Copies of this chain bind each other. A is one copy, B any other.
C-alpha cells in the first residue's frame, strides 16, 4: 500500500496499524505526518488514535508511548515491563537451567539452547531495555560469540547499532585497535580487536554479555571503550557466578546468579539475582 491512498480507515484499524508499526520498531520516532499520509486521515484524528494507543499500552503494562515535540518530533514505543513480569521470566529461565543433564565435563553449564533462543533472549533484553531506558545510549557493545543474540536483542529494543568486539585479529574491517586482557577465570592473556571506524566520537555505550565469572573480559571491553573515548553507561550480563565475589568489574547488573555449591558433585544452582 506504499504510495497509494486508500479508503478511510476506522479507528480500530488505525489503532491496530499504529500499534503494529510502533511496537515492532521500538525507540524509532515516527512523525504524525507519517500516519496522516499512510492512513489519509486528519492530524487531529491521528492524535486521538495515539492517545488510545498510549493509554492502552500503559493500562495493560505492554509498553510506553512517548510523544516528542519539535521539528524532529513524533511518537515512539519504548519497552516497559513490570517487576512482576520480570520475576516470572527469571523464574522460568532458572527452572530451565537447573537440570543435572546440563552439567558438562569441567563443571561447565550447557546453556546454548537458552542463550540462542529468540523467546528467552527477547524477554531478557526487555528487562535490560527497561532498566537502562533512562540512559543516553548510542551503542550496545559485546564480544563474540555467545552474547551476540542477547546484545543484538537489546540493541533492537533501544534502536541503536550493535558493536561486536572480535577475539580474532584477522578481521577484514580496516584499521583496528587491539588490546590485551587477562581472563579473570583462567588467568590467561588474551587479545581483543575492534575496527577504528566502528564507534563514533563521544559515544555512550551499554556493554552486554551472556556470562561473567572473574570479569576480565568485560574489564577488557571497558578498557577498549576508553581507547575509543566512549563513556560506559552500564554493564548487563545474563548470568554472573556467585564466586569470586571480588570481580574485576565492580558495577554490573546480572539477571541470574550461578552458584557452584559443590565442585565434587558437579552441583550447579541458578537463581534470579536480587536486583
Contacts and interface: CB of A to CB of B under 8 A. Distances in A.
A28 B119 contact: yes
Contacts of A2: 82, 84-85, 88
Contacts of A24: 23-24, 122
Contacts of A122: 24-25, 156
Interface stretch (A158-166, A201-209, A222-230): A158-166
A20 interface: yes
Given A23-B20, A110-B174, A172-B104, A162 B116 contact: yes
A117 B82 CA distance: 28
A1 interface: yes
B12 A11 contact: yes
Given A118-B159, A174-B105, A59 B148 contact: no
Q: Which 6 A-B pairs have the closest CB atoms?
A: A118-B156, A16-B56, A116-B162, A19-B19, A13-B56, A108-B172
Interface of A: 1-3, 6, 9, 11-13, 15-17, 19-21, 23-25, 28, 52-53, 55-57, 59-63, 82, 84-85, 88, 104-106, 108, 110, 112-113, 116-119, 121-122, 144-146, 148-149, 152-153, 155-156, 159-164, 166, 168, 172-174, 195, 197-198
